[in-house]
Amino acid sequence: MAVEFGDADILKEKILGIVSKCVRCRFCFSQCPVYEVSDKWVVQGASGITQSLYYGIKLNKIDEILRDILMRCTTCRSCEILCERIMAAVSLVDAIRMGRALLFEEGINPIREQQKALESLQVFGNPYGMPTSKRTAWAEGRGLKKLADPTDNISTLYYVGCTPSYDSRVQAVAGSIATVLQKGDISFGILENEKCSGDPALVMGELGLFQMLAEQNLNQFKHMNIQTIIATSPHDLNCFLKYYPQGIKTIELKHYTEFFADLVEQKRVPIRKVSKKRVTYHDPCYLGKHNQIYEAPRKILEAIPGIELVEMERNRQNSLCCGGGGGRMWADFEEKEHLAEIRVLEALETGAEVLATACPFCLINFEDAVKVLDKEDTIMVKDIAEILLEAMHS
């Protein structure tokens, strides 16, 4: 998959080419999480979003109304999976992503909070407006190698990402990943000057900014002779794998759960029995539905004696989105329910004491949801890396 650079006319042509394949069977409605939580919303379901885009182009109405419709999509990919099953195989997410780029080309302002995130990305290299000098603060005192020069001679990079670098809760996940790697005797480093992968710009339609960040990052990876990248966030991983320039293809790209599943299988990390716990695992959309990584996180949990893994009714390809993808971490929409709260209730139905996940956005959204539901005494939200590290402590 490549990024569709080009002017508005090229984007329009490509979008119409994709959306015209839709046979309007409406089966995808049932899979769309946005449809599930919208009551006042007149544009219905997944194909409703792309049909709005289709008619927006046909009737030359590329405006703020269309923007608000397109930006609601979490880009979870559930609709595409259903559409593949009925053989129409409409690439709805591609169309929506191109539609967002079209809004940019047509000069439609992004939603205010998203605009702020994009401006921060441009100025600070992260969407949170945090100083670059603080990016590696989480790593202080951990004895991590900070890569700045090819003579550092380390070819495995732990790419931390913006949210794990700056968010006080997710910093603990970055710390856990780094410690597991250290305990597994992996020779690795983090970048002294890490920047955003560009994923927020990609999903919000600012392709020029995405391209700039992708080129800067790739140049840095190449300059440092990086051979393997281990990423915290499924969003960054997806962006590297599918949208970076060709040069990235010579680098092995892994989510940390894949890397850890191998370490566990090869018995390169010591695991002890933990006190009996019922754990349910939420498949993050960009790990599962976008990249088919369903088993690695489960293998890690299953390798820990004492953990009983229980599945929610909606799992793997049918997992319910937490609501944080597609730039929605920087936008608030009026919806009758929050997706993350619905998901926490589904986790509670399993009787699990721990809701595990493997994505920074899921973690933040679920922790907020647990607080809103006042279930802090009943269920804890943890990242797979935190659970594995706990089982490694003697």
31 binds ligand SF4 (CB under 6 A): yes
Give the interface segment with ligand SF4, choosing from 87-95, 109-117, 239-247, 264-272 (CB under 6 A).
87-95
Q: 66 or 92: whose CB is closer to ligand SF4?
A: 92
16 binds ligand SF4 (CB under 6 A): no
Q: 194 or 199: whose CB is closer to ligand SF4?
A: 199
> Which one of 5, 13, 26, 65 is in contact with ligand SF4 (CB under 6 A)?
26
Among the listed residues 211, 234, 239, 205, the one whose alpha carbon sits nearest the alpha carbon of residue 104: 205
Among the listed residues 67, 32, 38, 37, the one whose alpha carbon sits nearest the alpha carbon of residue 53: 67
Site string for ligand SF4, 93-132 (x = CB under 6 A): x---------------------------------------
Q: Do residues 236 and 197 lie in contact, with contact meaning Cβ atoms separated by under 8 Å?
A: yes
75 binds ligand SF4 (CB under 6 A): yes
34 binds ligand SF4 (CB under 6 A): yes
1 binds ligand SF4 (CB under 6 A): no
Distance CA(83)–CA(158), nearest Å, equals 36
Radius of gyration of the chain (CA): 21
Site string for ligand SF4, 322-341 (x = CB under 6 A): --------------------
* DSSP letter string, 5-58: -S-HHHHHHHHHHHHTT-----GGGGG-HHHHH-SS--S-HHHHHHHHHHHHHH
290 binds ligand SF4 (CB under 6 A): no
Other C-beta atoms closer than 10 Å to the C-beta of 104 total 21
90 binds ligand SF4 (CB under 6 A): yes
342 binds ligand SF4 (CB under 6 A): no
52 binds ligand SF4 (CB under 6 A): no
- 377 burial (CB, 10 Å; 0-12 / 13-18 / 19+) is exposed
77 binds ligand SF4 (CB under 6 A): yes
> Which one of 5, 9, 23, 292 is in contact with ligand SF4 (CB under 6 A)?
23
27 binds ligand SF4 (CB under 6 A): yes
Instruction: State the amino acid at position 14 in one-letter form.
Output: K
Distance CA(320)–CA(312), nearest Å, equals 10
Indicate the Cα dihedral angle 262, 265, 267, 268, nearest 10°.
Answer: 0
Binding site for ligand SF4 (CB under 6 A): 22-28, 31-34, 46-47, 49, 73-79, 82-83, 86, 88, 90, 92-93
